[in-house]
Structure 1
Amino acid sequence: MQSDIDLFSSLCQILTEKEFTLMVVSILVTNAILAPLLRFIYDPAQQYQSMRRCSIQHTKQDSELRVMACILNNESIPTIINILEASYASIESTVAIIALSLIELRGRARPLLVAHQPHDTLRSTSCNKTQIVNALRQYAQHNEGCASVYSFTSMSEYDTMHGDVCRISHEMEANILIMPFHKRWEIDGSVQVISRSIQTMNIRVLERAPCSVGILIDRGILSGFPSLLAGRIEYNVAVLFIGGADDAEALAYGTRMARHASVSVTVIRFLLFGEENSKDRKRDTDLIDEYRYFSAANHQFEMMDQIVRDGIEMSTSIRRLIDYFDLVIVGKEHPDSIMLLGHDQWSECKELGIIGDMLASKDFVTKASVLVVQQQRIRKRLIKHIVTPITNQRDQSVHNIPTEPGPRPSITISM
């Protein structure tokens, strides 16, 4: 501090008042011009952009599904493992799990991104990660030959961690990225905010992710639901369908889950009374008919229509049905509709969308966990909504890991 004061005094003696003023002004002007110019020329998020369709909807039935799960704490492990198991790993359609443990760094410690080698995938980086290691090991053993597990650890501040999340999902070519919610449900039903920085991280991931994104509102501790890996239990999943690309992604994920022997999926479609002939409804009907056709022989896949007149009737219907399920999947954004009017006025978490925010509200009493899905965006647009999601082939080109990546928020270490 004293040295800075001495330096300032020396400058004042060397420079005249006008010269010193000119120097300060020039520095301010340069910074004012350069900072916006650099932001305009170089967008760090561009390195994660992909022109390939990396969503579940656009993946063939017999293609490998790549699911990336970001794990914040041990309490969320049972629900995450159930979702991974419900994703249905089989010889015909394998599943690759990319597990990323999120560890917040405080102070001036330098951030690290640890990439575990295959032979070291299940080894913990800290004693607090023992449960994560055991859960991944159990999942891999239960699905031996049908599933693979890749393990990473990101040690960084939450404000910059979105860079690691997007980078790994891009390099590992994930189809869907599951992020933790910034609130935690306690055993007594109370809700605690873990960190507002996690909410900011989720918003940035939604803006930059090169694949579909799901935000998991975990209420598993309230239901005490056992692990799907134990077998001889039924896992009930609901897909709330209103319309739009995000709901189409939720429908695609739910349809895949219905192929699991222990998973029962019910698609609840909300229809607005009096709009039978609208173009949006006809397009959505064609999409749903495709999934209904390919799941015709599957008795664990059901569809039901709920005709409502406004948002109040829809909300009442959801409250009446939701407790029959262990997991509810819903899209983040929907086309403008009378069913959504009024709900956005009470929205607390914009990153969840209108319906997702309603389901995550502490006033919405339920034991069901919720997965809010956003389909992959390409150049800040929704992917074109298509009618034949299952027959479309996934792009065959492989996006290799860049040899000269842009600036990264952390150092990568292989172990």
Structure 2
Amino acid sequence: MVCIHDNENLPTILNLLEASYASKESRVAVTTLFLVELQGRARPILVANQAHSSLDPVSCNSNHIDNALRQYAQQNEGYVSVQSFTSISTFETMHDDVCRISLEHGANILILPFHKRWEIDGTVDVAHRSIQTMNINVLERAPCSVGILVDRGILSASPSLLMAKAAYYIGVFFTGGADDEETLAYCTRMVRHECVYVTVVRFLLFGEENSKDRKHDSDLIDEYRHHNAGNRRFEILDEVVKDGIDLTTCIRRLVDYFDLVMVGRQHPDSVLFEGHDNWSECQELGVIGDMLASPDFVTKASVLVVQQPRTIGKFVKCNVNMNPVPKERDQLFSPFSFLFRLLWVEKSSSDRDSAPICWNPKQFR
């Protein structure tokens, strides 16, 4: 599921969708929600765009985005389905609509816009501070994984995967923890795309060779390494660092090799992150995500900050009256789910609603 507030983010969003690799064996169902701030005393509404194509002045932007998404679906004919909705509400309550649709459509991951916008000259503008509040609320309540997209595509004129089939370079900064594991699961699906190159950068704390966490992470990395054996577009790079300064220096050295950097939101306690919380500006991005999104961090790479679901099946209230949202049982980005712990496997049409099972790379060798 993708939430869109500004159509300037569309090229980067399309690259993200295309990189997620729809195929005959693993179809993609995209649900798009246009976020429109409620003006005056009008009543908030949530509508399916196909049935309400005359929501002026919203229709101009939404039609442009709908056309682009339809083109994406046509390029992947038979493997991609698209549904779009519009939420016209206050940003203080819009998270209700976001979480409701993601729950009713069985989304595996929910992509949210960042509240800051980069201009072509490199300056940073706060597009809408209320979006930050909405993002924080969604992170607390979402029934699925969440990714916050920091879009710098305008700075680099990122190549179009959809139209030009240009090479697209993705870096995954891995320090450990559930959110980084979620990110690793996502990128493993992406690298199946013939134009996507993935480099997993694993930061290893000096002197922690025999720790339990290190062994767990090494076993996990080895599974992904084995699963991607023979794929020259997938590589793992180990970087040994002593402290947070080393970590920052290493990230600055590597970041500009990539069009997109992916990182987990939260990480286990470590000396690598000591003191960073004191100057963190955007807590919803976590320590590394906040660093990468800082205006002081000069890079042209976009960033996707991923969080594993914190709650499953939590009640989501509805702030508007409407009919139930139609359900699509095609799971987004299956069989390689963004949920590291839960995976819906579509075995056949007769048992496609079967219960989730534990994710294990060995299953797909």
> Normalised by the size of structure 2, how large is the TM-score?
0.84
Contact 2:35 2:87 in 1 (8 A): yes
Q: Does 1:394 align with 2:344?
A: yes
Alignment of 1:263 with 2:213, yes or no, is no
Show the counterpart of 1:280: 213
1:126 aligns with 2:59: yes
The match for 2:2 is 69
CA contact (8 A) 1:327 1:370 kept: yes
Contact kept in structure 1, 2:66 and 2:84, CA below 8 Å = no
Distance of 1:398 and 1:148 partners within structure 2:
18
1:343 Cα deviation after fit: 1.7
Q: Which deviations, in whole Å up to 9, do the C-alpha atoms of 1:246-275 show, x marking residues without a partner?
A: 000011111111000010000000000110
Quote the residue 1:213 is aligned against: 146
Give 1:375's aligned residue. Answer: 308
The 1:366/1:380 distance shift into structure 2, 3 A limit, reads farther
Residue equivalent to 1:83: 16
Separation in structure 1 between the aligned mates of residue 33 and residue 343 of structure 2, nearest angstrom: 28
Alignment partner, residue 157 of structure 2: 224
Distance 1:314 1:101, change over 3 A: same
Query: Closer, same or farther in 2 for the Cα pair 1:103/1:146, shift >3 Å?
Result: same
Indicate whether 1:198 and 2:198 are aligned.
Answer: no
- CA–CA distance in structure 1, aligned partners of residues 97 and 260 of structure 2: 28
Alignment partner, residue 42 of structure 1: none
Gaps of 5+ in 2: 315-338, 346-350, 355-365
> Where do 4+ consecutive residues of structure 1 move more than 2 Å?
116-120, 128-131, 378-381, 389-399
- Separation in 1, partners of 2:341, 2:87: 37
Q: CA deviation at 1:378?
A: 2.8
1:347 to 280, 303, 312: 280
Aligned residues of 1:118 and 1:150 also touching (Cα < 8 A): no
- Aligned partner (choices 220, 232, 235) of residue 302 of structure 1: 235
Aligned to 1:161: 94
Classify the secondary structure of the residue corresponding to 1:201: helix
How many residues align structurally?
322
Does the CA-based 8 Å contact 1:111-1:156 persist in structure 2? yes
CA change 1:159–1:233 in 2 (3 A) is same
Q: Deviations over 1:130-169 (max 9, x none)?
A: 3202210110111001111111111111111000000000
Which amino acid in the other structure matches residue 169 of structure 2?
Answer: N
Aligned letter for 1:91? K
Q: Distance in 2 between matches of 1:108 and 1:177?
A: 29
Partner Cα distance (2:143, 2:23) in 1: 25
User: Take 1:130 and 1:100, find their aligned partners in 2: how far apart are those partners?
Assistant: 13
* Structure 1 range deviating more: 129-138 or 259-268: 129-138
CA spacing shift, 1:119–1:84, aligned 2, 3 Å: farther
2:292 match: 359
> Could you tell me which residue of structure 2 aligns to residue 172 of structure 1?
105
Residues 52-106 of structure 1, C-alpha deviations (whole Å, 9 max, x = no match): xxxxxxxxxxxxxxxx010111100000000000000000111111111111112
| 2:183 corresponding residue in structure 1 | 250
- Code of the residue aligned with 2:225 in structure 1: it is R
Q: Deviations over 1:170-208 (max 9, x none)?
A: 000000000000110011111111121110000000000
CA contact (8 A) 1:214 1:373 kept: yes
Which ranges of structure 1 fall in alignment gaps of 5 or more residues?
1-67, 382-388, 400-415
Q: Does 1:331 align with 2:292?
A: no
**Residue 29 of structure 2 corresponds to residue 96 of structure 1:** yes
Matches of 1:192 and 1:370 in 2, distance apart?
Answer: 17
Answering whether residue 84 of structure 2 is matched by residue 151 of structure 1, we say: yes
> Counterpart amino acid of 2:104?
E
Amino acid at match of 2:33: L
Q: Is the 8 A contact 2:144 2:312 kept in 1?
A: no
Q: Check conservation: 1:332, 1:356, Cα contact below 8 A.
A: yes
Aligned-partner SS, 2:281: coil
Change (3 A) 1:270 1:180: same
Return the offset for 1:231: 3.2
Structure 1 length as normaliser, TM-score?
0.74
Contact 1:213 1:376 in 2 (8 A): yes
Give the structure with the larger helix fraction: 1
Q: Which has the larger radius of gyration?
A: 1
* Distance in 1 separating the partners of 2:225 and 2:341: 14
- Cα distance in 1 for partners of 2:246, 2:300 equals 21
